[in-house]
């Protein structure tokens, strides 16, 4: 036992110091690894900081991209800092970084699309970004930031280079057609039709509430979205059916926040006055493209009119007709009010150049009116012809068909200029406006039957009479009597069609001369109206026979309607109630159709463009 203890003591003495050496080596290794980790961490932090710096500087620099050339952006002017000044100021505001900023380089570039569909700067074969020529407008700015940090333990320093690409969006709000602009200039006829349509659609008596003070009142879309519990205008535009009363109540709240207490009171009164169960799809009246953000605004009266058409277009019972307040009120025509069918509501668009698209409303008028035809068409000394409907010679119950389709137009924002709003430096937008087919039609078919004595009249021309004598009698005989028997299909009719068109150049809305309350027409067309109707005799569906009596007898032959001189008959039709009552109907329809066309901004050869507010240029965002 004693020997075993002695052997163990000798072994312990031999291992004295081994643990210390192990601990020392391990500590050195741990310290080295820790130092490496610290230095590596600082390297990673400087990379992160350089990326953050490049991002914020790129966004600041992108604010200069407002349509000026690269030379103008680089050099600056009395109202704009130069590119280098903006970069230096941005760096000064963001110096709370690890290490030192060795280089901060902005490059104005043109964007292209790579094979993956990403937007990237144009580069040369070596991979370096290609600067935009001095006389061209840059798409974006590429900022490259290089930073370094001294290592805490190792000798030397670590570097990191990061880049960021930013561009500046230009966006605007516009609409095709403006209820407010039309009401501001259209007078009583336009106002009466608007009042009637809103009352029929929303149950709101505008004459009691009043709205004249709202014609130039706008509200902020961002605040409206927030009041409705929606995060952004984009989400507002995708909102489904919302109660009309809630939409108006939220609008009133926004107006109050903006300090417009009188407008707030009027809109609150509207919110209480509308039929409370009505809902409207906000997406039908508001289109928000990419980049539409905080400064979008909406005219209050345009909102009201769009809501009325929107409600009218989607009513659940299919009765989507809106009363215009104009009556037929014509002799021989069944009474009633002129109603328009709402197909689609007008839409305001807010968004970036190239993405914002708005459309006008689509409405149609189609009515089959009872028309009491006269018993006879008097032809003076020639006699008269019986009048009836085409299918029944005994019936006087005709049908006057009146139809019009205002299929609307659409517009895409293609340019925007953020000027000073002066004669020497105007601001405005450009919109490519495509129009759809416009059609109008009036038709009253009827039938003329009977026999008249045309002896001595010009209805049967002499040349035709001589030809008949030759063919019927073989020689020229002494005529004692000429009778013409008619069975003629006729109608008072007018039909017009304006084909759709695709824009080849933008319609420019410039301020001045415009002022965001009046419209710019895309073409020199007039509001849509029914033209005057004329009388049409259908030769293909008519039959005419001529009985010629001579000293030697009487014979009959058929002739074509086109061989006759029909002026006496046409003149009689022109002065008859058939034509005069049709003309009266057309005049009454136009009392509704022309104001509606003005309210919707639809013209015979184009559409009305309204820029709602000044465009916003230089709104920066990172690309990629």
Residue 42 is assigned to a structural domain of this protein: yes
| Res 16: pLDDT | 56
- Predicted local confidence at residue 156, as pLDDT: 47
- For 343-352, the pLDDT digits (tens) are 888 889 988 8
pLDDT at 292: 46
In angstroms, the CA 190 to CA 182 distance is 7
Tell me if 163 is assigned to some domain.
no
User: Which tokens sit at 340?
Assistant: 């328009």
Using N-to-C axis directions, what is the helix angle for 83-93 and 18-62, rounded to 10°? Answer: 140
Query: Strand pairing partners for 322?
Result: 340
Residue 223 pairs with which residues in a beta bridge? none
Asked whether residue 118 is domain-assigned, the answer is: yes
Task: Note the pLDDT of residue 296.
Answer: 80
- Separation of alpha carbons 80 and 69, rounded Å: 13
Q: Is residue 568 domain-resident?
A: yes
The model's pTM: 0.74
Is 11 domain-assigned? no
Based on the fold, state whether residues 417 and 516 are members of the same structural domain.
yes
Quick one: 151 and 189 in the same domain?
A: no
74 with 198, same domain? no
Domain housing 313: 174-622
Which of 155, 187, 211 represents a domain boundary (last residue)?
155
Exposed, middle or buried by CB within 10 Å (0-12, 13-18, 19+), for 94? Answer: middle
Q: Are residues 147 and 181 in the same domain?
A: no
**Nearest residue to 244 via CA among 226, 267, 210:** 267
Same domain, 114 and 217: no
Domain tally, the chain: 2
Say if 13 falls within a structural domain.
no
3-state secondary structure string across 457-481: CCCCCHHHHHHHHHHHHCCCCCEEE
Query: In which residue ranges of the chain is pLDDT below 70?
Result: 1-44, 96-99, 149-158, 231-234, 289-295, 313-321, 624
Same domain, 146 and 225: no
Count the helix, strand and coil residues of the chain and give each as a percent rounded to the nearest 5: 35, 35, 30
Q: Are residues 274 and 345 in the same domain?
A: yes
In angstroms, the CA 418 to CA 142 distance is 23
Instruction: Clarify whether residues 115 and 178 are in a common domain.
Output: no
Same domain, 86 and 196: no
267 with 138, same domain: the answer is no
Q: Is residue 162 part of a domain?
A: no
CA distance 199 to 193: 10
Handedness of CA 250, 256, 260, 264 (dihedral sign): positive
Domain boundary among 91, 125, 155: 155
Asked whether the beta carbons of 230 and 264 are under 8 A apart, the reply is no
Whether residues 72 and 195 share a domain: the answer is no
In this structure, the answer to whether residues 295 and 402 fall within a common structural domain is yes
Chosen domain end from 109, 125, 155: 155
What pLDDT sits at residue 21? 58
| Rounded distance between C-alpha atoms, residue 611 and residue 512, angstroms | 12
């Amino acid at each position: 036992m004693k020997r075993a203890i002695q052997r163990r003591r000798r072994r312990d003495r031999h291992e004295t110091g081994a643990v210390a050496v192990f601990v020392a080596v391990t500590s050195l290794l741990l310290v080295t690894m820790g130092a490496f980790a610290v230095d590596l961490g600082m390297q990673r932090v400087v990379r992160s900081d350089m990326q953050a710096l490049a991002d914020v500087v790129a966004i600041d620099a992108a604010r200069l991209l407002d349509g000026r050339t690269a030379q103008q952006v680089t050099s600056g002017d009395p109202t704009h800092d130069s590119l280098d000044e903006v970069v230096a100021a941005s760096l000064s505001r963001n110096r709370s970084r690890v290490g030192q900023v060795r280089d901060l380089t902005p490059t104005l570039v043109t964007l292209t699309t790579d094979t993956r569909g990403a937007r990237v700067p144009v580069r040369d074969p070596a991979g370096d970004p290609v600067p935009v020529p001095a006389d061209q407008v840059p798409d974006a700015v590429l900022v490259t930031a290089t930073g370094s940090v001294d290592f805490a333990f190792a000798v030397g320093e670590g570097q990191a280079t990061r880049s960021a690409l930013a561009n500046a969006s230009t966006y605007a709000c516009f609409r095709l057609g403006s209820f407010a602009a039309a009401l501001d200039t259209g007078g009583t006829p336009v106002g009466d039709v608007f009042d009637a349509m809103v009352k029929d659609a929303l149950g709101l008596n505008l004459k009691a509430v009043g709205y004249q003070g709202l014609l130039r009142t706008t509200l902020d879309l961002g605040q409206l979205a927030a009041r409705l519990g929606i995060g952004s205008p984009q989400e507002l535009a995708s909102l489904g059916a919302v109660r009309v009363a809630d939409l108006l109540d939220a609008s009133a709240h926004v107006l109050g926040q903006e300090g417009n207490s009188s407008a707030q009171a009027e809109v609150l009164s509207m919110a209480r006055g509308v039929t409370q169960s009505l809902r409207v799809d906000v997406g039908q009246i508001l289109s928000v493209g990419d980049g539409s953000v905080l400064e979008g605004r909406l005219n209050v009266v345009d909102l009201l009119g769009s809501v009325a058409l929107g409600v009218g277009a989607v009513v659940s019972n299919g009765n989507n007709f809106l009363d215009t307040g104009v009556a037929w009120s014509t002799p021989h025509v069944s009474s009633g009010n002129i109603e328009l069918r709402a197909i689609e509501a007008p839409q305001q668009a807010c968004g970036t150049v190239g993405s914002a698209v708005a459309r006008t409303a689509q409405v149609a008028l189609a009515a089959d009116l009872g028309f009491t035809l006269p018993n006879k068409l008097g032809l003076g000394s020639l006699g008269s012809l019986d009048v009836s409907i085409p299918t029944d010679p005994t019936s006087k119950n005709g049908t006057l068909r009146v139809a019009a389709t205002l299929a609307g137009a659409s517009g895409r924002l293609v340019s925007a200029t953020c000027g000073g709003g002066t004669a020497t430096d105007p601001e405005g937008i450009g919109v490519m406006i495509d129009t759809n087919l416009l059609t109008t039609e009036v038709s009253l078919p009827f039938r003329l039957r009977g026999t008249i004595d045309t002896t001595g009249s010009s209805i049967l021309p002499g040349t035709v009479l001589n030809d008949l004598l030759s063919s019927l009698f073989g020689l020229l005989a002494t005529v004692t009597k000429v009778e013409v028997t008619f069975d003629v299909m006729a109608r008072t009719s007018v039909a017009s069609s304006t084909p759709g068109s695709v824009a080849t150049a933008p319609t420019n809305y410039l301020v001045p001369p415009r002022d965001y309350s009046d419209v710019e027409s895309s073409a020199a067309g007039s509001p849509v109206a029914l033209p005057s109707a004329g009388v049409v005799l259908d030769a293909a569906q008519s039959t005419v026979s001529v009985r010629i009596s001579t000293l030697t007898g009487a014979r009959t032959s058929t002739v074509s309607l086109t061989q006759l001189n029909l002026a006496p008959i046409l003149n009689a039709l022109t002065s008859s109630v058939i034509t005069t009552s049709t003309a009266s109907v057309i005049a009454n329809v136009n009392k509704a159709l022309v104001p509606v066309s003005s309210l919707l901004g639809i013209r015979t050869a184009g559409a009305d463009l309204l820029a709602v507010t000044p465009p916003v240029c230089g709104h920066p965002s990172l690309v990629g």
